[in-house]
Amino acid sequence: MSSRWPRGFGNFVSVPRRRTLALVLACAVAAACGNGDRAVAHGAAPARVVAVTRWDTLWSVGGARDSTLLNPFLLSATDSLVYVYDGGARRLVALSAATGAPVWRFGRQGSGPGEFRGVRDIKRAGDGGVLVLDPRNNRITHLDRGGAVVSRIPLDQVGHAEQMAPLPDGRMVLLTMSPESAFAVVGADGRVQRRFSLPWAGFAKLDPIARQGFVAATGGTWVYGFSVGDGWYAFNGDRPAHFVGRYAEHTDFPKMETTTEGDRSITHMEEYNACSGCSLSISGKTLVVHFGGYGNAPKRTLDRFDVSTGKYVDSYQLPIEAKAVEATGDHVYVLAEDPYPVLMALRPRR
């Protein structure tokens, strides 16, 4: 593995996965359907192996006496900078990866060139800068590592986009709301070059709430993982990998119900569903899945997988409940509320 997380340290315990249904629908991500769909992962999910480790806190930003971050909820990082989108201030904040000190800020509420309205995703760019997906303003803004605008990609042809995966050649894969062609490949001019979906026909039959997921990307490799349910798909560009990954533990797809209010019908979850993948990131060749769950330590488990084979590697338990996690090299950046918003830079102790 090329990521620099320590291996073979601490004590390890094997934890049986929670026995739940793989998916609610007839065709599950966790079993091959035999109906012409691409075969998906067979057999039982891997038993979780948790490394009982200690963490070094490299720095912490936020908290009761620090107004640097008001309502942060999106993370991306390079070796030198940590990018955080602050929904409370409608701005992007770049922090030093070494110290946590703010380096620059960009944006405010609005629809103008330097403004944001409904940011849904941020991803590190190939030049060390950052890409900001703002579907309400129908654009992606590319900022360099100094906070200057490199380009703006219009998204008028795409429809609403939730997540993105930048490709090395300047194109972008966007996760849209279309069930039959969930992903759109766009060029630097915003023109749609191709549309495709997951290699699983059951995806189109899911309720839009159940179809939700996260995209993690590095270079030309990217992963789509379900927020709930059991499965993640790896891609190289617009080509799917030969396998489908299984989570070490998962929660079931939510049961949906429809209620009527006046002349409107509203579909929602019958009850709260914890996330299987609360956030995903790729560090080197390792996919890091932040698991939610219902146990004694919700949103504190990180499961690691080989992104090139789908094989489970091991797990870590965070010292704090996290809203979002980004793993880069041997650093883990954690957004949490304690009880005020805080961003922590952690490193597993060697």
Pairing assessment for the beta strands 48-52 and 312-317 based on DSSP bridges: parallel
Angle CA 69–71–75, to nearest 5: 80
The amino acid present at 295, given as its one-letter code, is G
CB count in 10 Å sphere of residue 38: 16
From the number of C-beta atoms within 10 Å of its C-beta (0-12, 13-18, 19+), residue 218 rates as: buried
Q: In what order do the strands lie in the sheet with 341-348?
A: 55-62, 341-348, 331-337, 324-328
d(CA 122, CA 172): 13
| pLDDT beyond 50 at 20 | no
Tell me which amino acid residue 180 is: E
- Write the DSSP string, 317-331: E-SS--SEEEEETTE
Q: Which range is least confidently modeled, 8-12, 74-78, 111-115, 269-273?
A: 8-12
Per the structure block, which two tokens stand in for 10? 């601490």
pLDDT tens-digit profile of 252-290?
Answer: 877 777 888 888 877 766 666 789 999 999 999 999 999
| Residue whose token pair is 């998906």 | 40
**Side chain identity at 218, as an amino acid letter?**
T
| Per-residue pLDDT reduced to its tens digit, 163-187 | 999 999 999 999 999 888 999 999 9
Q: Is the pLDDT of residue 211 over 60?
A: yes
Between CA 240 and CA 39 the distance in angstroms is 12
Per cent of the chain over pLDDT 70 is 85
CB count in 10 Å sphere of residue 90: 19
How many residues does this entry show for the chain?
350
Instruction: Give the 3-state secondary structure of residue 65.
Output: coil
Q: What is the pLDDT, as a whole number, of residue 101?
A: 96
Res. 210 pLDDT band, cuts 50 70 90: confident
Determine how many CB atoms are found less than 10 A away from the CB of residue 72.
24
pLDDT tens digits, 235-250: 999 999 999 999 999 8
Residue 251 CB contacts under 8 Å (≥ 6 apart), including other chains: 20, 228, 229, 273, 274, 275, 276, 292, 293, 294
pLDDT at 31 over 50: no
Q: Quick one: average pLDDT of 3-19?
A: 43
Residues 6+ apart with CB under 8 A from 235: 165, 173, 221, 222, 223, 224, 241
Which tens digit of pLDDT belongs to each residue from 54-83? Answer: 899 999 999 878 888 999 999 999 999 999
**What was the pLDDT predicted at 41?**
47
Region 46-60: mean pLDDT is: 87
| E strand or H helix at 288 | strand 286-291
Q: How far apart are CA 137 and CA 155, in angstroms?
A: 9
Q: Considering Cα of 66, then 95, then 278, then 247, what sign does the dihedral take?
A: negative
